[in-house]
Amino acid sequence: MSYNLQIHARDNRALPMGHRRSHFINYKGRGIYLVTLCTENRRPLLGDLCGDSPDSAYIRPTALGKAVLRCWQDIPVIQQQLAAERSVRSGTTCTRDIQLLGCQLMPDHFHGIIFIKQDMDIALGQVVRGFMMGCTQVYHEMLKSVYIPTVLPQLRLAGGIHTASSSSFSPTEQQTSLPVLRSANLPTTPPTALQPLWEKGYHDRPLRRRGQLQNMLRYVEENPRRLYIRRHHAHYFHVQKDVQVGDYRFAAVGNMALIDSPLHAVHVRRHFTPEERRRYMNSCVVAARRGRVLISPFISDYEKQVRDIVLQEGFPVIQLTNEYLSQFYKPSGELFHACSQGQLLLLSPNDSPVPFSTRITREQCNQLNIITEAIADEE
């Protein structure tokens, strides 16, 4: 049996998963955005994960990573200069008032929170593309300097360029030396058409409601911690495709052993009276305490309450989702912690990328509940 992908009505062809702009947002207007850029082929060129525990984890930037951070910090000044030049040429006032609220460099991607303080003459995408071009220019300069006659033979014969660690360089030397360009991530022939630093496009998440900014800042700040946890619990964060459960096939991430457990479906019905709802929710929690694994899309607030209580008590759950699970997918928030503890298995019947802004429809909810109950009934 298959999931009805016709329900996903949006056109998914233009850009890679998660890189599509929303049709409902004025990207020239005032707003706060969490912007994410990934290196081409997710090469870990920007930094190294350091620390001996999740709480002490941090990213030590490479020379290229430091250059990326400098390019990011330069955005407000550069955009003000460009706006002033455009104002002179056009005879109109062009404003680009930008404030940077936070950022986090990771080995293979970059997060930044940008505040457009008033309407601009250009869109957010042009600001981000300017940043990407500045970073790429620095990267290409570094790449070219690697391919000198005395270095290329080393790369081919020894399989890599072995240099001293970055700690042995002075701050000035670290900015110009090339331990940043690890041999494992370099092409083995001199580049004629230089490789891009960033993959095509970028992801943006606009701030939509009160309190979301603190969540954005916390998410960015905790990236090294989450990476440490994922690396030390890699088996729980590996996305598997074509996982057969009953008559359905899923993409899955989490504790795969939960599939073989006795299951208990959770579906709080709309027609329940308050007393019926209370009794039903209590019965689900009791079922978890008695060794059954709760399975549900956990869509309604009441279903989420059941899930959260069960997870807080240390019991596992299986959650169905309509999200597309790419190879780099990872759960967020409390589900990330649950996944790292082996308390979570996420199952997605959706094998087609959809725009990140697409909200789940009622028909999709019904389908996920039908699949949930079919799987649970087979146990």
Mean pLDDT over 59-84 rounds to 95
Closest CA to 178 of 141, 204, 203, 206: 141
Tens digit of each residue's pLDDT (9 = 90 or more) over 138-166: 999 988 876 544 444 554 454 443 333 33
Higher pLDDT among residues 251 and 152, named by residue: 251
Crossing angle of helices 63-73 and 75-90, in 10° steps, is 50
Band of residue 360 on the pLDDT scale cut at 50, 70, 90: confident
Under 8 Å between Cβ of 336 and 330: yes
In the chain, the percentage of residues whose pLDDT exceeds 90 is: 67
Mean pLDDT over 40-55 rounds to 95
* Residue 95 φ then ψ, to 5°: -120, 135
Amino acid making up residue 76: P
Higher pLDDT among residues 154 and 282, named by residue: 282
pLDDT of residue 77: 95
pLDDT for residue 332 is more than 50: yes
pLDDT for residue 9 is more than 50: no
* Residue 192 φ then ψ, to 5°: -85, -50
pLDDT of residue 28: 92
Under 8 Å between Cβ of 101 and 115: yes
pLDDT of residue 350: 83
pLDDT for residue 11 is more than 50: no
pLDDT for residue 188 is more than 90: no
Tens digit of each residue's pLDDT (9 = 90 or more) over 94-139: 889 999 999 999 999 999 999 999 999 999 999 999 999 999 999 9
Distance CA 122, CA 94 (A): 9
pLDDT for residue 278 is more than 80: yes
Band of residue 211 on the pLDDT scale cut at 50, 70, 90: confident
pLDDT for residue 58 is more than 70: yes
The region of weakest confidence among 64-68, 140-144, 290-294 is 140-144
Band of residue 205 on the pLDDT scale cut at 50, 70, 90: very high
Mean pLDDT over 16-23 rounds to 53
The DSSP code sequence of 36-76 is EEEBGGG---SEEEE-SSGGG-EEEE-HHHHHHHHHHHTHH
Tens digit of each residue's pLDDT (9 = 90 or more) over 294-326: 999 999 999 999 999 999 999 999 999 998 999
The DSSP code sequence of 95-125 is ---EEEEEEEE-SSEEEEEEEE-S--SS-HH
The region of weakest confidence among 189-203, 235-249, 251-265, 270-284 is 189-203
Amino acid making up residue 316: P
Under 8 Å between Cβ of 41 and 109: no
Q: Does pTM surpass 0.85?
A: no
Band of residue 280 on the pLDDT scale cut at 50, 70, 90: very high
Give the position of tokens 């002490």.
56
Mean pLDDT over 243-253 rounds to 92
Q: What tokens were used for 340?
A: 């790292």
Exposure string of 53-90, with b = 16+ CB inside 10 Å and e = fewer, is eeeebebbbbbbbbbbbebbeebbebbeebbeeeeeee
Distance CA 162, CA 226 (A): 30
CATH fit for domain 234-378, picks 3.30.390.10, 3.40.50.450, 3.40.50.620, 3.30.70.20:
3.40.50.450
CA-CA-CA-CA torsion for 102, 176, 196, 199, nearest 10 degrees?
Answer: -20
The residues, ordered by sequence, that sit 6+ positions from 246 with a Cβ below 8 Å of its Cβ are 374, 375, 378
pLDDT of residue 246: 86
In the chain, which segments carry CATH 3.40.50.450? 234-378
Mean pLDDT (the chain, rounded): 83
The region of weakest confidence among 163-167, 334-338, 367-371 is 163-167
Crossing angle of helices 75-90 and 124-146, in 10° steps, is 120
